Amino acid sequence: MTGNKAGRLSDVLRIDRALVAAMVAHARRDHPDEACGVIAGPAGSDAPLRHIEMINAERSPTFYRFDASEQLAVWREMDDRDEEPVVIYHSHTATEAYPSRTDVKFAGEPGAHYVLVSTRAEETADVRSFRIVDGEITEEPIELTGDELAVQTYKIGHTPTSIVYDCADRH
Amino acid sequence: MAVEVRIPTILRTHTSGEKIVQGSGDTLQALFTDLDSRHNGLAGRVITAEGGLHRFVNVYVNDEDVRFTGGLGTTLKDGDSVTILPAVAGG
Ligand SMILES: [Zn+2]
């Protein structure tokens, strides 16, 4: 049995459609540089609720790094509000939405859902979610909650159990 | 110099799960030597074999990134608060 070594981790990301759309919008805006950010939620809830766009200090199409001062401020704020980083996301602007070797090497939040957004296709972004624990990648399905959006700007995941949206018609 | 040190989730295996530990030292270097004597392996997660700070670990003294205050040579005084955070980075 691989993955979910910590046992307490859920093996699905439940997230509001509007938050996924917000991550995709951020990724589109920063394209071709990588965008990155956090969705915080109450500690222990595994529920991503509060979207925080972070500065990519590298401003690069192939690398991202949270600005160290901004990260401290945001982590402090989460601490004060008894929140944790439920989702940590970044975009890949020329490759698929799958963690790179660098992503795995620096994955420092074993409790987080690592969400990857690929903006390499112009019309529809790909969104996938992973756990990265002890250098091991485990993909997990994304379960969308909340209201259907008028415009679907993304499709979800590639695991057999995930919900796949093909309705990317923007006309 | 009694100093409070905030430990990130990923390093709490070295502190029996403790989120905040106490340490002492006149400099960051001395503090990590002190911490490592009680929390075995902690220093090695922050300091490289060459004796510098790991590039992908952020250390702050009272909210100042120590990269701008002298790295491991940063001086500490009583009551200072040290925060360790893994950098969030990737490709
Ligand atoms: Zn990446």
In tens, the pLDDT along A66-107 reads: 999 999 999 999 999 999 999 999 999 999 999 999 999 999
**Nearest-CA distance from A171 to chain B in Å?**
33
Q: Is residue A117 part of a domain?
A: yes
Q: Is residue A167 part of a domain?
A: no
A74: domain CATH number is 3.40.140.10
Chain B residue numbers touching A109 (CB-CB < 8 A)? 9-10, 86, 88
Pairing type for strands A64-65 and A50-54 reads unpaired
Residue A92: closest CA among chain B residues belongs to which residue? B91
Chain B residue numbers touching A64 (CB-CB < 8 A)? 89-91
pLDDT of A155: 92
Q: Is residue A77 part of a domain?
A: yes
Whole-number Cα distances in Å, B60 to A39, A55, A137, B6: 23, 19, 30, 10
pLDDT by residue for chain B (91 residues), tens only, comes to 799 999 998 999 999 999 999 999 999 999 999 999 999 999 999 999 999 999 889 999 999 999 999 999 999 999 999 999 999 999 9
Q: Is residue A171 part of a domain?
A: no
pLDDT of B22: 98
* Sign of the torsion angle spanned by Cα atoms B10, A35, A91, A168: positive
Domains of chain B: 3-86 (3.10.20.30)
- Ranges of residues in chain A whose predicted pLDDT is under 70: 1-10, 158-171
What's the pTM?
A: 0.87
Q: Is residue A161 part of a domain?
A: no
Of A71, A75, A100, the CB nearest to B90: A100
Is the minimum CB–CB distance between A86 and chain B shorter than 8 Å?
no
Inter-chain touch A65–B65, beta carbons under 8 Å: no
Q: Which residues of A80-108 are buried (b: 16+ CB within 10 A; e: fewer)?
A: eeebbbbbbbbbbbeeebebbeebbebbb
Chain A residue numbers touching B89 (CB-CB < 8 A)? 58, 63-66, 102, 106
Q: Is residue A91 part of a domain?
A: yes
Chain B residue numbers touching A69 (CB-CB < 8 A)? 65
Domain holding A143, by residue range, is 5-156
Q: Is residue A105 part of a domain?
A: yes
ipTM of the complex: 0.89
